[in-house]
């Protein structure tokens, strides 16, 4: 059986997700290390409801979301490995790609924490454009409208019935009036992620990545920029460099996985976002969820 471990990105965070792994041996040490790097109590942030007087204490603030998700996912995946489990290959959605690279031993834990600090800050500072989720649409109509627009791209091609668009607020509003869909929902984000609006931050991120050694992966990784199995560290570096300003091709990632008739899809993270997409998009596959210390098996 082929086993795919997948790691979700922003949008899958949950208040209480750190408590779910509190009793695992590495949890305290890893949260303490990252909290010192980020200069805030990340474990506490995972457990607190939003405080409007202090945005930096909010789990949904990109500065906190990315590192907190990585911490939870990395602790869970290492616990799985310690229990004797391992994947055939890995994939991650947006931020989850960094977790996938960590899982494949391309990066050290410490490298990932520093990398995510840089990545999240660059994304927060972009402050250009916005994003919108579109659900229940005609793919041909959507493609035509996006092609016609100057400033809108498909940022997350999540499935045949769900995408996230990035672009200028004006162009997103115009497109929302033209498209026929079940839901068009503007997202509360600081910029137009995974789009050309991120070109300048992506250049800075690429410069930072030059300082980090990409090791040979212990198993293949599917990247967002190019959804194919890859075990070349130089190519994985190019793909991660291109991720920030290009779309997340998750629908194509699932299509690639679906070619295997004996697939076990294991989502490692606090929620079932990717499992839900897989259930609706793929047929006849086994799905497991690993989101707490009580679920370290499948």
Active-site annotation, residues: 94, 194
In terms of Cα–Cα distance, which of 43, 46, 83, 77 is closest to 61?
46
Strand partners, 188: none
The Cα 240–Cα 209 span in angstroms is 9
Is residue 165 within 8 Å of residue 146, measured between CB atoms? yes
> Residue 168, Cβ neighbours under 10 Å: how many?
18
- What's the DSSP call for residue 245? T
Residue 217 and residue 145 in contact, taking contact as beta carbons nearer than 8 Å: no
CA distance 23 to 11: 25
| DSSP per position, 7-36 | E--TT---TTTTGGGTTSTTHHHHHHHHHH
Strands 181-187 and 221-222: unpaired
Are the C-beta atoms of residues 107 and 212 closer than 8 Å to each other? yes
How far, in Å, CA of 200 to CA of 205, rounded? 9
Please name the residues in contact with 79: beta carbons below 8 A apart, sequence gap of 6 or more.
21, 24, 26, 293, 296
Q: What span, in angstroms and rounded, lies between the C-alpha atoms of 203 and 237?
A: 13
């Amino acid at each position: 059986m082929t086993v795919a471990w997948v790691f979700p990105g922003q949008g899958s965070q949950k208040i209480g997700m750190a408590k779910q792994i509190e009793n695992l041996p590495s949890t305290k040490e890893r949260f303490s290390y990252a909290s010192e790097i980020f200069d805030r109590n990340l474990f506490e942030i995972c457990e607190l409801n939003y405080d409007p007087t202090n945005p930096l204490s909010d789990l949904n603030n990109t500065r906190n979301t990315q590192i907190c998700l990585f911490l939870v996912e990395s602790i869970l995946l290492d616990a799985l490995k310690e229990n004797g489990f391992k994947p055939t290959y890995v994939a991650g959605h947006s931020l989850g790609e960094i977790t996938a690279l960590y899982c494949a031993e391309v990066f050290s834990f410490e490298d990932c924490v520093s990398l995510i600090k840089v990545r999240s800050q660059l994304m927060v500072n972009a402050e250009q454009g916005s994003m919108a989720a579109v659900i229940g649409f005609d793919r041909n109509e959507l493609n035509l409208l996006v092609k016609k627009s100057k400033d809108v791209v498909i940022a997350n091609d999540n499935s045949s019935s769900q995408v996230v668009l990035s672009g200028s607020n004006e162009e997103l509003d115009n497109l929302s009036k033209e498209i026929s869909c079940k839901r068009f929902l503007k997202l509360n984000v600081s910029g137009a992620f995974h789009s050309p609006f991120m070109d300048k931050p992506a250049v800075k991120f690429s410069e930072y990545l030059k300082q980090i050694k990409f090791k040979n992966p212990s198993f293949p990784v599917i990247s967002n920029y190019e959804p194919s199995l890859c075990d070349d560290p130089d190519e994985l570096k190019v793909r991660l460099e291109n991720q920030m300003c290009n779309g997340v091709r998750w629908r194509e990632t699932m299509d690639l996985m679906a070619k295997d008739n004996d697939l076990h899809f294991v989502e490692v993270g606090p929620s079932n976002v990717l499992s839900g997409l897989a259930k609706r998009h793929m047929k006849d596959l086994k799905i497991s969820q690993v989101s707490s210390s009580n679920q370290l098996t499948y």
